[in-house]
Amino acid sequence: MTGSGVWDQIFNFADYPQLLALVHNSLIAGAILGVVGGLISTFVMKRDLPFAVHSISELSFAGASGALLLGVNVVAGSLFGSILAAVVIGALGTRARDRNSIIGVLMPFGLGLGVLFLALYKGRSANKFGLLTGQIVAVDTPQLSWLIATSAIVLLGLALIWRPLSFASTDPELAAARGVPVAALSTAFMLLLGLTVAMSVQIVGALLVLSIVCTPAAAAMRVTASPLLVTLLSVVFAVGSMVGGILLALGSTIPISPYVTTISFTIYLVCRLVGFYRGKHGWSRPLRPLPGVHGATV
Amino acid sequence: MTTRTALELRDAALRYGRRTLWSGLNLRVEAGEFVAVLGANGSGKTSFLRAVLGLQPLDCGTLLVAGHPPRQRRDDVGYVPQQRHIDPLVPLRVRDVVGQGLDGHRWGTGWPSPGRRRRIDEVLAAVGATRFADMPIGLLSGGEQQRVRIAQALVADPKLLLCDEPLLSLDMRSQRTVTALVDSRRRGSDTAVVFVTHEINPVLPYVDRVLYLAGGQFRIGSVDQVLNSATLSELYGMPIEVLHTGGRIIVAGLPETASDAHHAPSIA
């Protein structure tokens, strides 16, 4: 095979307008997922949970492949797996060290279960592969309504607990002193995270959830410390990677995920470079001398 | 009900299992008063703080903050914790940290408003932190972070300022800055101060009274009444030497570890 043959497989924009009409649903799904993933990722980063996300997505994969094998609703199976994992990690792992070991134990088990179920499954192999690496081009209308409903729940939940959750995520000790129910918020967040991961697994696949639920905020946090800007940038990055990935993948024979992850990763690289530059050249406006207490200066 | 009393404990007791941290504690801290809480590690200083914050119920007795049970009116207590390492990537600017002290515990998303911003700017100016208001909190030095912590504790205009070892791991100059800020607040706004510390000297010029916890017992009084050889020897049940030298107080002969402090009285 020649080099240009490979290139045609990766990027092929022939018949683009016709194809675009076919992926109308997928584009909506991608945009919604981007918004939810971008928002959730800010808390995943603040609470140091990327590893947990990976584990939840693998349990979600096990649930989905189990459902595929049993011939029941794949979405329900995926939800069951991810919420179970999220609740277990949330309940057992309050300290970072505990949490990491529980995650390390759960993750291979989830993946192993998933592989077992898929090996037993005799149906279309595209279904199998899709759970791991994504299948956005095939989003149908019932799937889309499910996605919209779940997103609405996650967005409402986040809006309700946003402020105390931020407080508890960045300064749990002081938040508790101010009466914030730190433990209950942690459980609530894990549930919302479980829902988001289950959604993402359907679209980008279990192996690549982190590119939507971790990378956007990780990138945004490199360039700004303003909570509002981090949130906005994170959403823009996530939506950009999702929608951009779908548009690029359209004419190719390759799954959606490499496009999404590559855009997401590129954004992160650029943000790191910008952050590096900022770190060298100062964060704030030029310092003006102000009288401190007892004339204290920096 | 208006009251001048910022903190009141009546016949208060706190136990862990069979071990009594303290009991029969009666203490009234008036508005504008500066009370230092001293004692060995494990003597119940942290539990005292947790009780005042309403995070730990008393085993018996009453505790009132500005006339109300501790969980009822959170804004009455401003809490300054120990300085801890904050990751430079934490997405909070100095002004956001102070904002969390104002309304971080409320439900919903919260929206910026001119009044909120003005209040935050005011309190940042009061602690001399205006020039790093837009810096990420994790990039500040320990001393600067503690200034911000004080602003965060004061932004909701509390009646009681509760400080938990706020000077720990700070250099001398930052220690002086932080104590001076706390003192100026209580003089300016009549806020009572309860200052938990293992080291009396940095706050010596400001302290009105001392609560000394050790081995299930306590003493309350002025610095001279409590920090003398006779009182501390009695409290610890072993000879303790208290020296006054050059405006500093040096306590010699304290048991090294927390468990010593607990067992000493039962042996004596």
CA B50-B68-B214 angle, to 5 degrees, is 35
pLDDT of residue A287: 40
Q: Is the pLDDT of residue A41 over 70?
A: yes
Which chain A residues touch B96 with a CB distance below 8 Å? 225-227
Q: What is the pLDDT of residues A231-260, one digit of tens each?
A: 999 999 999 999 999 898 887 878 788 899
Which chain B residues touch A228 with a CB distance below 8 Å? 112
Helix intervals (H) in chain A: 3-10, 16-22, 24-46, 50-70, 74-92, 96-120, 125-133, 141-170, 172-177, 182-204, 210-213, 215-223, 227-249, 257-281
- Most B CBs within 10 Å: which of A174, A271, A278, A290, as the mutation test of the B interface? A174
Q: What is the mean pLDDT of residues B244-258?
A: 81
- Our CA dihedral for A17, A22, A23, A24, rounded to 10 degrees, sits at 90
Q: What is the mean pLDDT of residues B11-38?
A: 93
pLDDT of residue A138: 63
Name the region of A95 (left: φ>0; alpha: ψ -120 to 50; beta: rest).
Answer: beta
Are A164 and B107 a contacting pair at CB < 8 A?
A: yes
d(CA B94, CA B129): 9
Average pLDDT, chain B: 90
Q: Is the pLDDT of residue A125 over 80?
A: no
B105 vs A179, A227, A290: nearest CB: A179
pLDDT of residue A2: 60
pLDDT above 90 covers a percentage of chain A that reads 54
Are A298 and B71 a contacting pair at CB < 8 A?
A: no
pLDDT of residue B73: 86
pLDDT of residue A286: 40
Which chain B residues touch A226 with a CB distance below 8 Å? 91, 93, 96
Q: What is the pLDDT of residues B257-267, one digit of tens each?
A: 544 433 333 33
Q: What is the pLDDT of residues A42-86, one digit of tens each?
A: 999 999 999 999 999 999 999 999 998 998 888 889 999 999 999
Which chain A residues touch B55 with a CB distance below 8 Å? 176-177
Q: Is the pLDDT of residue B11 over 50?
A: yes
Decide: helix, strand or coil at residue A292: coil
- Between residues 92 and 111 of chain B, which touch chain A (CB distance below 8 Å)? 92-93, 96-97, 100-101, 103-110
- Banded pLDDT at A203 (limits 50, 70, 90): confident
pLDDT of residue A137: 59
Q: Is the pLDDT of residue A106 over 60?
A: yes
Pairing type for strands B160-164 and B77-80 reads parallel
Are B132 and A284 a contacting pair at CB < 8 A?
A: yes
pLDDT of residue B268: 28
pLDDT of residue A291: 38
pLDDT of residue A12: 78
Which chain B residues touch A176 with a CB distance below 8 Å? 55
A293 vs B92, B104, B180: nearest CB: B180
- Banded pLDDT at A294 (limits 50, 70, 90): very low
Look up the pTM and report it.
Answer: 0.89
CA distance B30 to chain A (A): 22
Are A179 and B71 a contacting pair at CB < 8 A?
A: yes
Decide: helix, strand or coil at residue B25: strand
- Most B CBs within 10 Å: which of A41, A46, A233, A284, as the mutation test of the B interface? A284
Q: What is the pLDDT of residues B140-196, one digit of tens each?
A: 999 999 999 999 999 999 999 999 999 998 999 999 999 999 999 999 999 999 999
Over its C-alpha atoms, chain A yields an Rg (Å, rounded) of 21
- Banded pLDDT at B256 (limits 50, 70, 90): low
Q: What is the mean pLDDT of residues A212-235?
A: 95
Give the residue on B whose Cα is nearest the Cα of A177: B53
Which chain B residues touch A294 with a CB distance below 8 Å? 176-177, 180
- Banded pLDDT at B2 (limits 50, 70, 90): low
Closest CA to A262 of A241, A292, A232: A241
B91 vs A174, A230, A290: nearest CB: A230
DSSP codes of every residue in B37-55? EEE-TTSSHHHHHHHHTTS
Q: Is the pLDDT of residue B5 over 60?
A: yes
CA A135 to chain centre: 16
Q: What is the pLDDT of residues A138-156, one digit of tens each?
A: 677 888 898 999 999 999 9
d(CA B98, CA B121): 9
- Banded pLDDT at A124 (limits 50, 70, 90): confident
DSSP codes of every residue in A66-109? HHHHHTS-HHHHHHHHHHHHHHHHHHH--SHHHHHHHHHHHHHH
Are A170 and B92 a contacting pair at CB < 8 A?
A: yes
pLDDT of residue B71: 85
Q: What is the mean pLDDT of residues B56-71?
A: 93
Decide: helix, strand or coil at residue B79: strand
Strand order in the sheet with B5-16: B19-30, B5-16, B60-65
Q: Is the pLDDT of residue A226 over 70?
A: yes
Of A102-111, A167-176, A249-258, give the lowest mean pLDDT range: A249-258
- Banded pLDDT at A136 (limits 50, 70, 90): low
pLDDT of residue B263: 38
CA distance A30 to chain B (A): 25
pLDDT above 70 covers a percentage of chain A that reads 91
Say if CB B9 and CB B69 are below 8 A apart.
no
Instruction: Please tell me which of A207-211, B114-118, B252-256 the model is most confident about, judged by mean pLDDT.
Output: B114-118
Q: Which two tokens stand for residue A233?
A: 């940038």
pLDDT of residue A3: 63
Count other C-beta atoms under 10 Å from residue A155's C-beta. Answer: 16
Say if CB A290 and CB B131 are below 8 A apart.
yes
Closest CA to A215 of A184, A179, A240: A240
CA distance A177 to chain B (A): 6
Query: Residue B58: CB partners within 8 Å, gap ≥ 6?
Result: B12, B13, B14, B51
Query: Residue B172: CB partners within 8 Å, gap ≥ 6?
Result: none
Are A284 and B100 a contacting pair at CB < 8 A?
A: no
Q: What is the pLDDT of residues B91-144, one digit of tens each?
A: 999 999 999 999 999 999 988 899 999 999 999 999 999 999 999 999 999 999
Give the residue on A whose Cα is nearest the Cα of B85: A171
Of A9-13, B3-7, B98-102, give the lowest mean pLDDT range: A9-13
- Between residues 31 and 90 of chain B, which touch chain A (CB distance below 8 Å)? 53-55, 71, 74, 77, 79, 81, 89-90
- Banded pLDDT at B41 (limits 50, 70, 90): confident
Q: What is the pLDDT of residues B230-248, one digit of tens each?
A: 999 999 989 999 999 888 9
ipTM of the complex: 0.90
- Most B CBs within 10 Å: which of A169, A293, A294, as the mutation test of the B interface? A293
B135 vs A177, A283, A296: nearest CB: A283
DSSP codes of every residue in B95-115? HHHHHHHHHTTSSS-----HH
Q: What is the mean pLDDT of residues B249-263?
A: 65
Q: Is the pLDDT of residue B12 over 70?
A: yes
Q: Does B249 touch chain A (CB under 8 A)?
A: no
Which chain B residues touch A170 with a CB distance below 8 Å? 90, 92, 100
